[in-house]
């Protein structure tokens, strides 16, 4: 199984004029493309199939909550290493 490193990141939201935490996780390259800022200590290795289904280099929205759910005993949707 191929894995990829994804990160939480912040991005500027023009509608609120604030930086906000993205609801997706993304590769470093995708964060740079989105002009966001990587949160370094959030790195996770996930199955490569979980990335790029909606947006190249990014997970689906609310992916982070799936990881938290799997860590707390909920249904696992991501393979972390």
DSSP string, 11-74: EEETTTTEEEE-SS-B-HHHHHHTT-EE-GGG-EEEEGGGBSSSSTTBBPTTHHHHHHHHHTTS
Q: How would you classify the pairing of strands 18-21 and 37-38?
A: unpaired
Output the pLDDT for position 75. 42
Site of tokens 């370094």: 40
Adjacent-strand bridge partners of 45: 5
Per-residue pLDDT of the chain (81 residues; tens, 9 = 90+): 799 999 999 999 999 999 999 999 999 999 999 999 999 999 999 999 999 999 999 999 988 666 665 555 544 444 444
Output the pLDDT for position 77. 44
From the number of C-beta atoms within 10 Å of its C-beta (0-12, 13-18, 19+), residue 81 rates as: exposed
């Amino acid at each position: 199984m191929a894995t990829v490193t994804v990160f939480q990141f912040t991005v500027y939201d023009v509608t609120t004029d604030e930086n906000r935490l993205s609801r997706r996780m993304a590769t470093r390259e995708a964060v740079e493309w989105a002009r966001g800022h990587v949160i370094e200590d959030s790195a996770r290795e996930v199955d490569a199939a979980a990335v790029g289904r909606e947006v190249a280099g990014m997970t689906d929205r609310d992916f982070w909550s799936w990881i938290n759910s799997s860590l707390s005993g909920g249904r696992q949707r991501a393979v972390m290493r």
